Amino acid sequence: GIQVEQSPPDLILQEGANSTLRCNFSDSVNNLQWFHQNPWGQLINLFYIPSGTKQNGRLSATTVATERYSLLYISSSQTTDSGVYFCAVGSGGSYIPTFGRGTSLIVHP
Amino acid sequence: GAGVSQSPSNKVTEKGKDVELRCDPISGHTALYWYRQRLGQGLEFLIYFQGNSAPDKSGLPSDRFSAERTGESVSTLTIQRTQQEDSAVYLCASSLESRRLDFGPGTRLTVT
Q: Would you state the pLDDT for residue B5?
A: 97
Per-residue pLDDT tens listing for chain B (112 residues): 689 999 999 999 999 999 999 999 999 999 999 999 999 889 999 999 998 889 999 999 999 999 999 888 899 999 999 999 999 999 999 999 778 999 999 999 999 9
- Partners of A44 on chain B (C-beta within 8 Å) are 103
CA pair distance B56, B33, nearest whole angstrom: 10
- Partners of B99 on chain A (C-beta within 8 Å) are 31, 48, 95
Q: Is A91 on the interface with B (CB under 8 A)?
A: no
User: What secondary structure letter does DSSP report for A108?
Assistant: E
pLDDT digits 0-9 by tens, A1-53: 899 999 999 999 999 999 999 999 999 998 999 999 999 999 999 999 999 99
Residue B57 three-state SS = coil
CA A102 to chain centre: 8
Backbone φ and ψ of B67, nearest 5°: -150, 150
Spatial contact of A36 and A79, defined as CB atoms under 8 Å apart? no
Average pLDDT value for residue range A56-85? 97
Which residue would you say has higher pLDDT here, A108 or B40? Answer: A108
- Partners of B101 on chain A (C-beta within 8 Å) are 33, 45, 88, 97
CA pair distance B25, B93, nearest whole angstrom: 7
Q: Would you state the pLDDT for residue B97?
A: 77
Whole-number Cα distances in Å, B54 to A20, A25, B67, B70: 40, 28, 12, 12
Q: Would you state the pLDDT for residue A37?
A: 97
Q: Got the DSSP string for A13-50? A: EETT--EEEEEEESS--SEEEEEEE-TT--EEEEEE-S
Q: Would you state the pLDDT for residue B1?
A: 63
CA pair distance B48, B38, nearest whole angstrom: 19
Other C-beta atoms closer than 10 Å to the C-beta of A39 total: 10
Q: In Å, how far is B34's CA from the nearest CA of chain A?
A: 10
Which residue would you say has higher pLDDT here, A93 or A50? Answer: A50
pLDDT digits 0-9 by tens, A41-55: 999 999 999 999 999
Q: Do A45 and B102 touch (CB under 8 A)?
A: yes
What sign results for the dihedral spanned by CA atoms A38, A43, A45, A51?
positive
Nearest by Cα to A69 from A32, A25, A37: A25
Q: Residue-wise over A68-82: b if at least 16 C-beta within 10 A, else e?
A: bbbbbebeebeeebb
* CA angle, residues A43, A85, B49, in degrees to nearest 5: 45
Q: Would you state the pLDDT for residue A69?
A: 98
Q: Would you state the pLDDT for residue B51?
A: 86
